[in-house]
Amino acid sequence: MSTIASRKTRSKVLIAIIILVVIQGNFLPPYLPNFIVFGWVPFQLLNYWLYAVELSVLGWLLARQIIR
């Protein structure tokens, strides 16, 4: 029973973090600085790539809690 409760709590924490990351990738980008990285990647574009990696890691962690 306590395992179920802790899985539910961890899932809720992960969902809260995912919401923050979704805001990072779907609302904040225009307000970020836009210096060029590696000579060709604007930071606002790099932010989308970082966002995708973060979402991938969080999705994996969430799947581990919910899908057994």
**Residue placing its CB nearer to other proteins in the complex, 13 or 49:** 49
10 binds other proteins (CB under 8 A): no
* Amino acid identity, position 61: L
53 binds other proteins (CB under 8 A): yes
Residue 13 CB, shortest distance to other proteins, in Å, is: 14
List, in order, residues 6 or more apart from 62 with CB less than 8 Å away.
11, 14, 15, 18
List, in order, residues 6 or more apart from 22 with CB less than 8 Å away.
55
13 binds other proteins (CB under 8 A): no
* Amino acid identity, position 66: I
DSSP 29: G
Residue ranges binding other proteins (CB under 8 A): 4, 7-8, 15, 18, 22, 25-31, 34, 36, 39-40, 42, 44-45, 48-49, 51-53, 55-60, 62-64, 66-68
